[in-house]
Structure 1
Amino acid sequence: MIIWLQFAVLLAAILVGARMKGIGLGVMGMVALAIYIFLFRMRPADPPIDVMLIILAVVTTAATLQAAGGMDYLVRLAEKILRSKPALIVLLGPLVTYMFTLFAGTAHITYSLLPIIAEVSTKKRIRPERALSISVIASHLAITASPISAATAAILTILSGKVELLEILKVCIPATLVGTLAGVAVCWKQGKDLDKDPLFLEKMKDPEFAKSINADTEAAQAPLQPGAKTSVLIFGLAVLLIVLVGAFPDMLPSFGEGLSNLAVDAAGRIKMSAIIELVMLAAAAAIMLLCKTSAASVAKASLFTSGAQAVVSIFGVVWMSATFMQTNTAVIEHTLGDMVRSAPWTFAIALFLLSILLFSQAATTKALMPLGLSLGIIPPHLVAMFPAVNGDFVLPGYPTLLAAINFDRTGSTHIGKYLVNHSFMIPGLVSVSVSVAVGFLLAGILW
């Protein structure tokens, strides 16, 4: 059937794009889209403009926070917490990375924490794999609980009028926290202790390696920038305002029924996605003005670069996937309909499998959640399944996974011989599964 040829094109674009890394997924998605349009004569779906704009707005504000020194201030606070109880690093590491991502809306913020987690673990002779693996998974789960993440904005847009932001947060924050704690439980004794690990013991025979491991690496910290604390306060107030507006949508002005657009829905209310963009960029302006941060320094911030790559990737891969789904909706609904209607939770498997390929929670949400609605899955169940879009750890190519592996000098955090038998697999599967199960439980209680 022609659908299998079209699916082969989609799969090839994703696999090649994933190997290219960076903006590879985005540009290869556009190649596949061109094949769909000009060879298969498929009608293109709407490009994911709303998700792209949210990513740009949130990442710009996070980069402004970084340029103002606010990120350095947060990292120092986190470092104090992590070093205060080194014996509990397997618990504190993931909780800190979770809170960081929940606050900032992106997992890229955790790069500065991973080397601290690795060092504290090694100094305490706790196998770094235990803390690093679940810390990375926790940062990914927090994306599906953050009020300002692109993934949350995507599901909010798809379920507009059926579910409010606060209802998503009531389910997803406790569900992903419980999922994280379940991951901590399985990681607590993961692998051999360092003093019994033959690989580590062999490395310790090298005097230079042993000296570097035992050395005090807490470098003298440079003074914080003058506006660092103020920038964190402004960013925090912006996040709080978004949550308040989501909790009390009547606060928003209404313009009467009429033509909808990217900013206003058919009922005349400003869309939540537009609110996130507006508040975030206004917060960025406030940080620049009050903390004397230059626009040039924001553009040079590492978070801004990461965000630009994410926008290109989502642009290509979501537009390609949405076009494939739109063209083949009838076939897919006929194939999956009976199974999903009798057991709605099975749709979570589809979300998980697609997220493995797309390496993006927002892209997976935007590409597949509309299909869930068309299959008749009720919104509370879709919210419960939202954490299932965190399958990006299965293939160990995501930047946070690679960073954790590189920061672990003991070699305990690793990619296995068979690629998928890596350090993140078991904690990831347990955490996501428990999050979805708890999500269904909470959705049943709250709705």
Structure 2
Amino acid sequence: MDVLVFVLEALVVVGAIIMGTRAGGVGVGLWGGLGTFVLVFVFQEAPGSPPAAAMAIILAVVTAAALMQAAGGIDWMVAVAARVIQRHPKQITLIAPLTAFAFSVGAGTSNIIYPLLPVIYDVSYKNGIRPSRPLSLTVVQSGSALAASPVSAAMAAMVTLTDTEPYNLGLTQILAITIPACVIGIVVTALVVNRLGKNLEDDPVVQAKIAAGELADWRVAEQTTTTVDAASTGEAGAVEANDGSDTTAGSATNAGGTATAPPVLTYTKRGRNSALTFFAGVVAIVLLGLFPGLRPSFPVEGGDPVPIDMTTTIVMVMFVVGVLILFIGRPDVKIVPDMSVFKAGMISAIALFGIAWLTATFIAAHEEVIVDTIGSWVNNYVFLFAVAVFLVAALTTSQSTATRTIVPIGLAAGLAPGVVTGMWAGALGGVYTLPANGTQIAAANFDLSGSTKLGTKLFDHSFFVPMLVLSVVTIVVGALIGALLFR
């Protein structure tokens, strides 16, 4: 009977995840809540602990980040990232994803990628580089980048699982594993991606478009490039506008190969200062995690004083950052709920709440079976944990959902938390397994050469191989770093 109950409850969990995936967005959380209801009311299992700590972090971080976006902080980050990319055009396949990674980590969101895509296409095509190479890697890096961000929803889910007894793997320890693993993964993948697809001069599709006048010939554009007044663009394509805002100008050519008005990315000083304030908050969080003595200490149950936990610290720091942005950036608070960062964060929070509550209830009811049975599988075949995270990330397209669904099982099964963290970072790249994400679709649409494809057979899209290489390399490197640093 116990085996039958376990199987039936496992089917409820899997069914809720599948139905939530089909519904998408907040539907993931709603189906998770329904699954919890079934386990409690039908199977009479005690409800697990809802993920209150992770929810608190997400709400605080998303609020501060949305305030920054409303003040124009994301615009400043995009402009700076565009300058970096434009300064190193020949190395764009490596520079573009690394730049996007840095800003995705700092902001805790991959939304910064969208406005960078046309810049990446323009710079790569003008320099005769197949646009699908930098575009595909820039998109898929964000799958793992959020595992290296102190202020992402995925990190909020992770740190509340590992920064407890008996694991004691805090934020700074997680970052010590995920950041180098992700960077190494991007570098190795860039070397592979540089060999994917035909060069533009050898691609019959691109050449046919050029011959038909549908696409500019980058070789002609290079020969007919005119000198632009330095006063209007500046050394790096940035100017100071009369209203005090800065602009970053790219360049473009029309189908006939003649120059057109360059796309302009603008930002205000208030936006810049708001972004810098947010980054200062991120740095403060990392320092407070690295040096616990900087946090206030209080006696616990009459014992010795203990520093406040990182969950509380992150929430308080982000609220302080939000108030500072109110004064420094002066955003219109009425439009904060309309910001893309806020909407995405709220969806993540709802999805996380339902699924995390469901898995917590299931694991608490069957912890002995999970440790004894599933634990032996995972310990004998460690890679199964990474495969599980990868598959859930692919099905739900949510890093935070994959984190709260599978990581508790891996930890309960007895895997070393350092190894779990390293594999988790790479396996989150599974969100780009299918060509269904907004950034994938946007990259394909911005690539006028047609080299970036969404495919027709689910796995034949331009993002699949870069995603797979990046995930595997990051998983292996992350697991090794985690095993060496935190046994």
TM-score of the pair, normalised by structure 1 = 0.90
- For residues 398 and 365 of structure 2, the distance between their equivalents in structure 1, rounded to whole angstroms, comes to 22
Instruction: Identify the residue that residue 230 of structure 1 maps to in structure 2.
Output: 273
Deviation of the 1:245 alpha carbon: 0.2
2:417 alignment partner in structure 1: 379
Unpaired segments ≥5 residues, structure 2: 217-252
In 2: Cα distance, 1:26 partner to 1:411 partner = 37
Equivalent of 2:474 in 432, 435, 439:
435
Q: Is the 8 A contact 2:370 2:413 kept in 1?
A: no
Matches of 1:267 and 1:395, distance apart in 2:
49
| Correspondence 1:30-429 to 2 at 5 A | 30-161=33-164, 162-207=168-213, 210=216, 212=254, 214=257, 216=260, 218-222=262-266, 224-258=267-301, 268-387=306-425, 388-429=427-468
Equivalent pairs counted in the alignment come to 441
Give the stretch that moved more between structures: 99-108 or 200-209: 200-209
Whole-angstrom CA distance in 2 between matches of 1:44 and 1:400 = 37
Q: Distance in 1 between matches of 2:202 and 2:457?
A: 24
Q: Which has the higher strand share?
A: 2
- Cα distance in 1 for partners of 2:307, 2:295 equals 7
CA distance in 2, matches of 1:16, 1:418: 23
State the match for 1:262 in structure 2: none
Quote the offset at 1:251 in angstroms: 1.4
Secondary structure of the equivalent of 1:143?
Answer: helix
Counterpart CA distance in 2 for 1:266 and 1:395 is: 51
State the alpha-carbon separation in 2 of the partners of residues 404 and 34 from structure 1: 40
- SS in structure 2 of the partner of residue 167 of structure 1: helix
- Does the CA contact (< 8 Å) of 2:163 and 2:171 recur in 1? no
Instruction: Indicate the RMSD between aligned Cα atoms, in angstroms.
Output: 2.6
Post-superposition CA distance 1:155-189 (Å, at most 9, x none)? 22222251232222222111110011111111112
Residues 46, 319 of structure 1: 8 Å contact kept: yes
Judged with a 3 Å threshold, the aligned counterparts in structure 2 of structure 1 residues 38 and 67 are, in CA distance, closer, same or farther, namely same
The answer to whether the 8 A contact 1:51-1:153 is kept is yes
Q: CA deviation at 1:381?
A: 2.0
The alpha-carbon distance between structure 1 residues 129 and 266, as it changes in their structure 2 partners (threshold 3 A), is farther
**Are the structure 2 counterparts of residues 251 and 405 from structure 1 closer, same or farther at C-alpha, using a change threshold of 3 Å?**
same
1:98 Cα deviation (Å)? 0.5
Higher mean displacement: 30-39 or 226-235: 30-39
Give the secondary-structure state (helix, strand or coil) at the position aligned to 1:255: strand
1:249-272 per-position Cα deviation (integer Å, ceiling 9, x unaligned): 12111221139xxxxx99854221
Question: Contact (CA 8 Å) 1:258, 1:268: kept in 2 or not?
Answer: no
Instruction: Read off the aligned partner of 1:436 and give its amino acid letter.
Output: I
| Structure-2 change in CA distance of 1:266 and 1:37 (3 Å) | farther
Distance in 2 of aligned mates of 1:151 and 1:429: 20
CA distance in 1, matches of 2:444, 2:26: 22
Deviates more, 1:85-94 or 1:415-424: 415-424
In 2, the alpha carbon distance for the partners of 1:267 and 1:416 equals 58
